[in-house]
Amino acid sequence: MTGAAPIANPDALLELRAVSTDQGAGRAATFWRSGWRGADAHSTATPALDRVDLTLTAGEVVGLLGESTAGGAMVGRVAVGLVAPCAGERFYDGERITDLRSAAARRARLALQMLLADTPGTLDPRQRIVDVVGEAPVAQRLIGRRQQVEYVGLMLNRVGVDPLLMRHRPHEFSAGQRARIGIARAIAVRPRVLVANEFLAPLEITERAQVLNLLADLRLALELTCLVVSRDVATVRHAAQRTVVMYLGRVIERAGTAELLARPNHPYTKALLAHDGNVVPGRRVWATHIGEAPSPLHPPRGCHYHPRCPVALPRCREVAPALVTIAPGHDAACHLNDCA
């Protein structure tokens, strides 16, 4: 996995290898997300990524599961190139992305697109939808300026928004429609990889179901590869073939989704899976963590999870466990596996 020579994994369309970021990386993005409220900056602070490996094979959907402090959203930003990692390599389609120049680099950037959660600021409030969706393909010369209206109409049809509304501005649409416009904007530049960063979380239940169906259709029609960053177990279970679980900037477990749900290994994964979103009348008991989530700015020593872990060993306080293979295609980072 950690070969010294930077040679791309031939099966991977997109690969992140031992990617790390600084504590303050993406500060601008955090600032933006927090809506310019300085007081909130600490609660949305991004944890440093610590040697995160991630492989996306063409055509698959990978889920990135974790709480808001896990760093999944940061992995998404690094994956599409919004944040430069301070260490580690990114590969796209067999090439190291930092080696790419001009036209090839531009193609790689266009091929990696992101779907953002509907916070104010993901769609320019002063732009009309025809420009929100059509600006990038015109600027990138994928289409001519004269074709813009027709092309945007095509894209809006695809995502189920009435093309007659393309002269309207984002605030005139509901959250569900804005999500669809966000999808149209992303697919307008003909990407090969879509990174959905907490994309479905702000949507209402019925809108979310519609958009999940839409994304499934588009993925097949456009042969997209997807990375779904979410804190919702049910969404990841539904959409992803493989799942990566993160905690405070580290990958702690990864496996096929079915395998992970059936045989979770890491204590954190087990705790997370208790919140499966099933409607069970009279459940009355909620799986509880010990203590509060630690600040991502001051992660604990050793295994990041040890202060909340019900089965922590003395060693967990000192040494961070490595990600080891515990079954075919199933890796976990927990000291409990050392004893077994």
Binding stretches for another protein (CB under 8 A): 39, 43, 67-69, 174-177, 204-210, 212-213, 216, 231-232, 234-235, 237-239, 241, 257-258, 271-272, 274-289, 292-293
* Helix residue ranges per DSSP H, 71-204: 72-80, 102-111, 129-139, 148-159, 175-187
Counting DSSP H helices and E strands in the chain, the numbers are 11, 12
Q: How far is the CB of 278 from another protein (least distance, A)?
A: 5
Structure tokens at 14: 């997109």
Residue closer to another protein, measured from CB, 121 or 277:
277
Residue closer to another protein, measured from CB, 88 or 300:
300
Q: How far is the CB of 270 from another protein (least distance, A)?
A: 11
Residue closer to another protein, measured from CB, 50 or 232:
232
Half-sphere exposure of 164 (CA within 13 A, CB side): 0
Residue closer to another protein, measured from CB, 90 or 178:
178
Q: Is the alpha carbon torsion for 204, 209, 210, 214 positive or negative?
A: positive
Residue closer to another protein, measured from CB, 285 or 339:
285
3-state helix/strand/coil string of 161-195: CCHHHCCCCHHHCCHHHHHHHHHHHHHCCCCCEEE
Query: Which DSSP letter does residue 241 get?
Result: S
Q: How far is the CB of 235 from another protein (least distance, A)?
A: 6
Contact 34, 44 (CB under 8 A): yes
Query: What phi and psi values does residue 193 have, to the nearest 5 degrees?
Result: -125, 130
Q: How far is the CB of 75 from another protein (least distance, A)?
A: 17
Q: How far is the CB of 57 from another protein (least distance, A)?
A: 16
Contact 21, 78 (CB under 8 A): yes
Residue closer to another protein, measured from CB, 289 or 315:
289
Q: How far is the CB of 170 from another protein (least distance, A)?
A: 16
Q: Is the alpha carbon torsion for 294, 297, 298, 303 positive or negative?
A: positive
Q: How far is the CB of 216 from another protein (least distance, A)?
A: 7
Q: Which helix (H) or strand (E) holds 286?
A: none
Residue closer to another protein, measured from CB, 10 or 291:
291
Q: How far is the CB of 297 from another protein (least distance, A)?
A: 12
Query: What phi and psi values does residue 270 have, to the nearest 5 degrees?
Result: -60, -45
d(CA 337, CA 293): 24
Residue 317 three-state SS: helix
Residue closer to another protein, measured from CB, 285 or 340:
285
